[in-house]
Amino acid sequence: DSGVTQTPKHLITATGQRVTLRCSPRSGDLSVYWYQQSLDQGLQFLIQYYNGEERAKGNILERFSAQQFPDLHSELNLSSLELGDSALYFCASSATRTETSEQYFGPGTRLTVT
Amino acid sequence: QQQVKQSPQSLIVQKGGIPIINCAYENTAFDYFPWYQQFPGKGPALLIAIRPDVSEKKEGRFTISFNKSAKQFSLHIMDSQPGDSATYFCAASTRGAQKLVFGQGTRLTINP
């Protein structure tokens, strides 16, 4: 158990809908990262937050957004869902902001768009 | 330049053998190279990581070999066991840009 929690574990929704994925980092970790894992693209970095502020952006679609709250949990919002958004979404956390450090992954949310 | 290329895509080894998974990168700014192990239905779990100031790091049965001049690193699993059957990912990141760039993964099967 990495100490990172994610809810829900599974999510099935229809095209055009909006969903919210939730992540709680390990105790004491200030950085949260979101990654998408799909069969064709592998594991891709989406976005990073550090202590409530956006720190880095990767291959995140404009239909997707995220935020980190004062209690450090984070939410990833996916809107206008398309079939191609079906994937595993992972949250990871680490302790630091500027120094490269270990990232610990949660169990993921499997999103299925029908 | 941000890519990490991983090979092989799949690997089958007999129990007790030493599977070797290789990764290559182009970006010389990468300074942190972790390996992750992922079982079906689970998140990637950090296995071992290395920084470019050392050429080898060993933790239990897992060893990373790092060749800075060739921009390559590899994972060796000693005395492999069926329980090691999983997908393994190499990754890389740069100081100050902590996002991990992942290889495509290697599906490892250890036959009993």
pLDDT tens for B42-96 read 999 999 999 989 999 999 999 999 999 999 999 999 999 999 999 999 999 987 6
Residue of A nearest to B43 (CA): A107
d(Cα A44, Cα A42) in Å, to the nearest integer?
6
Residue A51, token pair as written in the block: 């202590």
Q: Does B45 contact A at CB distance below 8 Å?
A: yes
Which chain A residues contact residue B49 at CB under 8 A? Answer: 102
* A-contacting residues in B 72-111 (Cβ below 8 Å): 89, 91, 93-105
Phi, psi of B84 (to 5 degrees): -85, -10
Check residue B9 and give its pLDDT. Answer: 96
pLDDT over 60 at A98, yes or no: no
* B-contacting residues in A 39-98 (Cβ below 8 Å): 42-45, 48, 55-56, 58, 90, 94, 96-98
Nearest CB among A96, A97, A103 relative to B100 is that of A103
Read off the pLDDT of residues B3-53 as tens digits, 9 standing for 90 and up. Answer: 999 999 999 999 999 999 999 999 999 999 999 999 999 999 999 999 989
Q: Do A103 and B32 touch (CB under 8 A)?
A: no
Q: Do A42 and B102 touch (CB under 8 A)?
A: yes
Tokens 């993921």 correspond to what residue? Answer: A108
Residue B74's H or E segment, with its range, is strand B72-77
Check residue B74 and give its pLDDT. Answer: 98
In Å, what is the CA distance from B16 to each residue of A44, A99, A107, B12, B38? Answer: 33, 37, 29, 12, 20
Q: How many helices (H) and strands (E) does chain B have?
A: 0, 11
Mean pLDDT of A28-55: 92
Burial letters for B63-97: b for 16+ Cβ neighbours within 10 Å, e otherwise? Answer: bbbbeeeebebbbbbeebeeebbbbbbbbbbbeeb
| Interface size, chain A vs chain B, as Cβ–Cβ contacts under 8 Å | 63
Q: Do A98 and B96 touch (CB under 8 A)?
A: yes
Peptide bond into A8 cis (omega under 30): yes
Phi, psi of B82 (to 5 degrees): -55, -30
d(Cα A26, Cα A102) in Å, to the nearest integer?
12
